[in-house]
């Protein structure tokens, strides 16, 4: 088990290097730089002399491959560089923001799992029932509605009309501020989980070993607890992992919408002023999160399904 985990963790390194290089390539193609964005006040034409001096100061005059190499060797020492804007180490900038993002992602995922999985279960045990139809219609709506639109609706209804919850902001960590963004972010995975769970239960119900279980004289609830649940979980865990992994990336829009001081809003702000080290850092964090969650899911897999070899 330990070796399996270690190997999976080591396998992440090439992916991280590839992503870091890709971001370098993209930003060497995109027009504009931090220096030009500093001077773009819209009134004066930019002074080429000043531009050159700023570029030199931030090391932007060096060829892209040299900067890439410097960045990667820094990365090997867990040095993500320095923010152009605040002159702080990127690691500190991210450290200020990551916890808010983690809090939001975890809250959204817990919301999705706690409601989505049982809903899918109940729907599948009574296929064709009213509850089943409502769940599935809700799931399709949840999947097809743009998240920012849902966020706006929730904001309008719960903050403006009812006045129960604050409309946006972090509130210094007050849980009241977490509810709306977490629900908004959690609706898509919730809908997906409900559907996956329902499909999984229906699939497993038709398996031969469920018939065997019934032929042993088990009650329905025992068949579900002893034989159905775990087999369905194998299917559901995949969806949970994929959704949870991509959540940091999806949170970008939601964080901006709710002025949530997380990685996502940091990313958007940094892109617009071409603060490349911070952009690099945040994207790396998002990728790293995805990889970590996936590794974790693989480990859980191996734990619940004996057919998966732990090599």
Partner 1 sequence: MTDTPLLELKNLHVGIPKRDGYLDIVKDVSFSIMPGEAFGLVGESGSGKSLTALSLIRLLKKPLKVSKGQILFKGRDLQTLSDREMRGLRGERIAMIFQEPMTALNPLKTVGRQIAEMFVLHRGMGWAEAGRKAVDALASVKVPAPEERVLAYPHQMSGGMRQRVMIAIALACDPDLLIADEPTTALDVTVQDEVLKLIGELCAARGTAVLMISHDLGVIANMCQRVGVMYSGRLVEERDTYDLFAAPRHPYTKGLLGALPRLGTRHGAAGRQRLVDIDGLIKDREALLQEFCFQPRNTIRDPRLRADGAA
Task: Compute the distance between CA of residue 206 and CA of residue 204 in angstroms, rounded to an integer.
Answer: 5
Q: Which of 144, 219, 221, 311 binds partner 1 (CB under 8 A)?
A: 219
**Residue 164 binds to partner 1 (criterion: CB under 8 A):** no
Q: Which of 20, 23, 54, 213 binds partner 1 (CB under 8 A)?
A: 213
- Cα 207–211–216 angle (5° rounding)? 145
Nearer to partner 1, 271 or 299 (CB): 299
Cβ neighbours of 135 (radius 10 Å): 23
Q: Which two tokens stand for residue 62?
A: 């060096």
- Give the gyration radius of the chain's Cα atoms: 24
**Residue 21 binds to partner 1 (criterion: CB under 8 A):** no
**Residue 225 binds to partner 1 (criterion: CB under 8 A):** no
**Residue 311 binds to partner 1 (criterion: CB under 8 A):** no
Work out how close the CB of 93 gets to partner 1 at its nearest, in angstroms, rounded to a whole number: 45
Q: Which of 100, 227, 241, 247 binds partner 1 (CB under 8 A)?
A: 227
Please report, as residue ranges, which positions from 189 to 208 form the binding site for partner 1 (by CB under 8 A): 207-208
Nearer to partner 1, 53 or 126 (CB): 126
- Of 143-151, 268-276, 282-290, 301-309, the window that binds partner 1 (rule: CB under 8 A) is 301-309
Nearer to partner 1, 97 or 227 (CB): 227
Nearer to partner 1, 219 or 311 (CB): 219
CB 250 within 8 A of CB 187: no
**Residue 226 binds to partner 1 (criterion: CB under 8 A):** yes
**Residue 280 binds to partner 1 (criterion: CB under 8 A):** no
Nearer to partner 1, 96 or 305 (CB): 305
Report CA-CA distances (Å) from 191 to 22, 113, 116, 123, 143. Answer: 33, 10, 6, 13, 6
- Cα 230–9–192 angle (5° rounding)? 40
Report CA-CA distances (Å) from 308 to 165, 237, 304. Answer: 46, 14, 9
**Residue 63 binds to partner 1 (criterion: CB under 8 A):** no
Q: 292: Cβ–Cβ under 8 A, 6 or more apart, which residues?
A: 12
Task: Compute the distance between CA of residue 124 and CA of residue 184 in angstroms, rounded to an integer.
Answer: 25
The closest of 2, 68, 20 to 288, measured between CA atoms, is 20
Nearer to partner 1, 3 or 307 (CB): 307
Helix axes 90-125, 276-304, angle to 10 degrees: 40
Q: Which of 222, 246, 261, 296 binds partner 1 (CB under 8 A)?
A: 222
Work out how close the CB of 220 gets to partner 1 at its nearest, in angstroms, rounded to a whole number: 9
Where does this chain bind partner 1 (CB under 8 A)?
207-209, 211-219, 222, 226-227, 230-231, 234, 304-307
């Amino acid at each position: 088990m330990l070796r399996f985990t270690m190997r999976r963790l080591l396998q992440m390194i090439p992916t991280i290097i590839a992503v870091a290089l890709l971001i370098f390539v993209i930003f060497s193609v995109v027009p504009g730089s931090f220096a030009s964005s500093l001077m773009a006040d819209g009134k004066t034409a930019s002074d080429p002399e000043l531009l050159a001096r700023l570029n030199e100061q931030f090391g932007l005059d060096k060829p892209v491959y040299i900067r890439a190499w410097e960045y990667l060797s820094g990365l090997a020492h867990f040095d993500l560089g320095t923010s152009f804007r605040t002159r702080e180490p990127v690691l500190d900038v991210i450290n200020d923001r990551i916890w808010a993002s983690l809090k939001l992602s975890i809250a959204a995922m817990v919301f999705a799992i706690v409601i989505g999985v049982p809903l899918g279960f109940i729907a599948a045990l009574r296929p064709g029932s009213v509850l089943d139809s409502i769940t599935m219609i809700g799931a399709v709506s949840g999947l097809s509605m743009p998240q920012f639109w849902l966020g706006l609706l929730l904001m309008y209804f719960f903050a403006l009309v009812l006045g129960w919850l604050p409309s946006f902001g972090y509130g210094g960590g007050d849980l009241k501020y977490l509810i709306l963004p977490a629900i908004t972010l959690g609706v898509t995975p919730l809908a997906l989980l409900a559907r996956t769970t329902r499909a999984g239960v229906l699939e497993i119900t038709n398996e031969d070993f469920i018939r065997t279980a019934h032929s042993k004289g088990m009650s329905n609830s025992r068949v579900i607890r002893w034989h159905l649940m775990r087999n369905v979980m194998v299917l559901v865990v995949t969806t949970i992992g994929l959704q949870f992994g991509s959540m940091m990336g999806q949170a970008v829009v939601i964080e901006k919408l709710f002025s949530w001081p997380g990685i996502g809003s940091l990313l958007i702000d940094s892109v617009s002023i071409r603060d490349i080290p911070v952009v690099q850092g945040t994207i790396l964090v998002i990728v790293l999160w995805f990889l970590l969650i996936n590794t974790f899911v693989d480990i859980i897999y191996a734990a619940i399904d004996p057919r998966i070899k732990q090599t």
